[in-house]
Amino acid sequence: MMKRSLFLSTLLLAALPLMAQQSRVNIQYDPQRTEPEGILPYNARVLSPEVHDDHTVTFRVNAPNATTVQLTGSMFVGNNRQRPNFTKGANGVWELTIGPLAPEIYLYYIIIDGVQNIDANNQFTGHAAMPSFSMLFVHGDEPAWYDPKPDVPHGSWTTHYYYSNVTNGLRDLIVYTPANYNPKKKYPVLYLMGGSGDLTETWIMHGRANWILDNVIAEGKAKEMIVVFPNDQMVTRSHPQHTELAFPMIERDLIDNIIPFVESHYSCIKDKHARALSGLSMGGRMTQYVAFRNLDVFGSAGLLSAAIGLDETPAIKEPDVNKKIDYLFVGGGQYETGMMGRHTTLHNQLTELGVKHEYDDDAPGAHDLVTWRHLLYYHFLPGLWRNNYKWK
């Protein structure tokens, strides 16, 4: 009896490392790498997605009564948004293998008889003010620049709550502090906003901003900084007067509430040259609106896949604008809207006006986080505060 118990204990201990990955015990860069034993996540009916080391991916759906099953997602950007069909097996399980795919984090849905669904067997899902989606992690041979790296010092992020006299209610914001944050030292601050319907934590949950910041700072490509993720959802996105209402409201909330809160709780350099504002999509349009109406508050701005008309920000047209803004970045993805893209149009207008800025549209994505992660790591963060301004 003792030998049998010892044998069972040995088996359980040996199985722990295999079970750990499926159980999300550790934070890993390859959380969906195929297990040799094919251990299912807890309560899953089938293994899906199954990510192979050759970068192909197998999806499975247990839907014996379905007539059609298809896949759609950001992995098909640049390929006419194809929707490949699953094949039904004799056991009622539908299966599809695609790839190889470039290592990246993709978002996807499974369409069953015309109805869009998440992958019910995938542990990794995301959401915002839209239907939930599934996440696919295609790993490379080692952690990427947007992945957690065990040998890199990691910063911290903290959720705060404050009362807003703009929305007349309790709101939240997230603050990232670098790994070696020292309250006796003063730091520049980046205020980084999401897009339409995004959550306060979207940049961290899906944009991997905290890992990107850890890596880019550790690599010496960006300065140590505090990053604030405000909630920029001021009224429901479906409101017919959303822009007219929300843009002035986020301006007031930033100036009256968010910046004072952050600067009273953290060791910040209270100088326009040490404040930057940026955002993706709607957050980028808000950035242009707020930054160029408050050039005494913000010295730098980053517009990611975003732009509004120059008439809404007349300060851009002023002859001395280059003396008022330290760094302006405009960028987008190569699979967005080409020469008609808002960011491209703004880039051309700024060039014609002689407004100094950096521009890039080579990010390997469309209007999605593949693009915005790329722009953040490769362009905007390294471009901030390069000139070593003499902050007060």
**pLDDT tens, position by position, 318-342:** 999 999 999 999 999 998 866 567 8
CATH class, range 21-138: mainly beta
> Is the predicted pLDDT of residue 78 greater than 80, yes or no?
no
Arithmetic mean of pLDDT, 240-262: 92
User: Residue 390 has what pLDDT?
Assistant: 55
Q: Where are the domains of the chain?
A: 21-138, 156-383
Phi, psi of 205 (to 5 degrees): -65, -45
Q: How many CA atoms lie within 13 A of 136 on its CB side?
A: 31
**Is the Cα dihedral 136, 140, 142, 147 positive or negative?**
negative
Q: Where does the pLDDT of residue 223 fall: very low under 50, low under 70, confident under 90, or very high at 90 and above?
A: very high
Pair type for strands 104-112 and 115-117 = antiparallel
Of 184, 185, 209, 289, the C-alpha closest to 242 is: 289
- DSSP letter for 40, please: P
> Is the predicted pLDDT of residue 18 greater than 80, yes or no?
no
* Helices 282-291 + 242-252 axis angle, to 10: 60
Q: What is the CA radius of gyration of the chain?
A: 23
Taking the C-alpha atoms of residue 103 and residue 264, their distance in angstroms, rounded to an integer, is 41
- Cβ atoms of 279 and 247 within 8 Å: the answer is no
> Is the predicted pLDDT of residue 73 greater than 50, yes or no?
yes
**In this predicted model, which residue has the larger pLDDT, 79 or 77?**
77
Weakest-pLDDT range from 32-36, 64-68, 344-348, 385-389: 385-389
With H, G, I as helix, E, B as strand and everything else as coil, classify residue 109.
strand
Which of 79-93, 312-326, 338-352: highest mean pLDDT? 312-326
Give the Å distances, CA to CA, from 97 to 73, 84, 361. 14, 10, 31
The encoded tokens of residue 77 equal: 């950007």
The torsion region of residue 36 among left (phi > 0), alpha (psi -120 to 50) and beta comes to alpha
> Is the predicted pLDDT of residue 108 greater than 70, yes or no?
yes
- Cβ atoms of 357 and 329 within 8 Å: the answer is yes
With H, G, I as helix, E, B as strand and everything else as coil, classify residue 190.
strand
pTM, 2 dp = 0.90
User: Residue 340 has what pLDDT?
Assistant: 63
The residue type at 183: P
User: Residue 370 has what pLDDT?
Assistant: 94
The encoded tokens of residue 43 equal: 């309560």
The encoded tokens of residue 40 equal: 């299912």
Let me know if domain 156-383 sits in CATH 3.90.420.10. no
Taking the C-alpha atoms of residue 44 and residue 34, their distance in angstroms, rounded to an integer, is 15
Q: Where does the pLDDT of residue 14 fall: very low under 50, low under 70, confident under 90, or very high at 90 and above?
A: very low
With H, G, I as helix, E, B as strand and everything else as coil, classify residue 98.
strand
Quickly tell me which residue has 């705060």 as its tokens: 160
Question: How many CB atoms within 10 Å of residue 215?
Answer: 23
The torsion region of residue 220 among left (phi > 0), alpha (psi -120 to 50) and beta comes to left
User: Residue 35 has what pLDDT?
Assistant: 67
- Cβ atoms of 261 and 162 within 8 Å: the answer is yes
User: Residue 126 has what pLDDT?
Assistant: 87
Residues 6+ apart with CB under 8 A from 75: 98, 101, 104, 106, 108, 136
User: Residue 43 has what pLDDT?
Assistant: 78
